[in-house]
Amino acid sequence: MDFTMASGLIHLHRQATLVSFDAPKRRAADPKPGPKPRLTKLAKENNISNDQEAEIREAFGLFAETGIKGYAKEKEGVIKSDDVRRCLVALGINVKSSELPDVLETLDPEETGYVPYSPFLALAAIHLHHNDDDDDDDEDQSEEVREAYHLFTDDREGPITLAHLRRIARLLKEDISDDTLRDMLVEANGEGKDGWKRGVDIDAFESVMRRAGVFG
C-alpha cells in the first residue's frame, strides 16, 4: 500500500472511534454559569451581544453630533454621512469605495447628510456577524488541524517523529518499513535526506494535509 502521511491521517480518522489511544480522562464538572445579562432592545433586535452594542455605540460616539435640527429626539446624536466610513473603520469594518454609495443610500435615503444611531447599528451588526462567521470558520479549521496533528503526536506537542509514525502504523495494522516512514517525514518537512530526524512541525503538517486535500 502507498502509505503517505495524508493517507495515514485518513486511515487514522476512520479508526479513531474504534481504537482507544488512552484511558478516558475525567473532566472536572464545569461550574454552573450565572444568569446571562438581559440584552438591550437594540442588541436583541440585531442579534448581537451587549458588549458588541457598547462597542458600536462607542465608535458612533467618536463622530456623533447633537442638537442637529430634525434629530432632537436622537438620544445618541447623529453622525455626518461623510463620517460613516471612518466610523466603520473604527469598528474594524472595511467598506470598499465602490460599496460606499450603496451603504449611504441605505443609511441616509433622504440624503439629509446625517445618519442616526439605530440604522448605523443595524448595518454594523450585519458586518460584525459576517466577520464572526469568517472567524468561526478559521477557528474551526485551525482546531481540526490541531486535533489531527495531536492524533499523530499522541496529544503531545510536536514535532511528529519516526516513533510517532511507527505507533500509528501499529495501530492501523499497517506493515510499513522505517525507510518508508523516514521518506514520509522528509517529504513533509523538505529538509533533505537526514531531515527525518527533525520531525514535522504543525505548519509543515498542515501544508502537507492541504496539498492532499484533507483540509480545505
Which range in 18-27, 104-113, 139-148, 203-212 is most confidently predicted, on average pLDDT?
104-113
Please check whether the domain covering 158-216 is classified as CATH 1.10.238.10: yes
Cβ–Cβ under 8 Å, residues 56 and 87: no
Higher pLDDT pick, 92 / 122:
122
Contact predicate 184/165, CB 8 Å: yes
pLDDT of residue 180: 86
User: With contact defined as beta carbons under 8 Å apart, do 78 and 117 qualify?
Assistant: yes
- The fraction of the chain above a pLDDT of 90, given in percent, is 28
User: What would the mean pLDDT of 21-47 be, rounded to a whole number?
Assistant: 65
Phi, psi (5° rounding) for residue 3?
-95, 100
- pLDDT value, residue 2: 47
Residue 27 pLDDT > 60 = no
pLDDT at 214: 57
Q: Does the pLDDT of residue 19 top 50, yes or no?
A: no
Band (16; pLDDT cuts 50, 70, 90): very low
Within 8 A by CB and 6+ apart from 193, the residues are 186
Mean pLDDT of 42-69: 91
Q: What cell numbers appear for 175 in the block?
A: 506493515
Domain ranges of the chain: 46-131, 158-216
Higher pLDDT, 174 or 9: 174
Query: Residue 194: what pLDDT?
Result: 77
Would you say the CATH fold of 158-216 matches that of 46-131?
yes
DSSP 75-144: TT-EEEGGGHHHHHHHTT----TTTHHHHHHHH-TT--SEEEHHHHHHHHHHHHHHHHHHHHHHHHHHHH
Residue 201 clears pLDDT 50, i.e. is over it: yes
- Say yes or no to pLDDT of 127 above 70: yes
How far apart are the C-alpha atoms of 58 and 77, rounded to whole Å? 12
> Given this model, what pLDDT does residue 68 score?
94
Q: pLDDT at position 175, please? A: 84
Query: What does the pLDDT read at residue 144?
Result: 72
Say which CATH topology domain 46-131 has. Answer: Recoverin; domain 1 (1.10.238)
**How far apart are the C-alpha atoms of 152 and 184, rounded to whole Å?**
13
Lowest mean pLDDT among 4-8, 94-98, 141-145: 4-8
Task: Report residue 82's pLDDT band, with 50, 70 and 90 as the boundaries.
Answer: very high
pLDDT digits over 153-188, tens only? 887 888 989 998 888 888 777 788 888 888 888 888
What pLDDT is stored for residue 118 in this prediction?
94
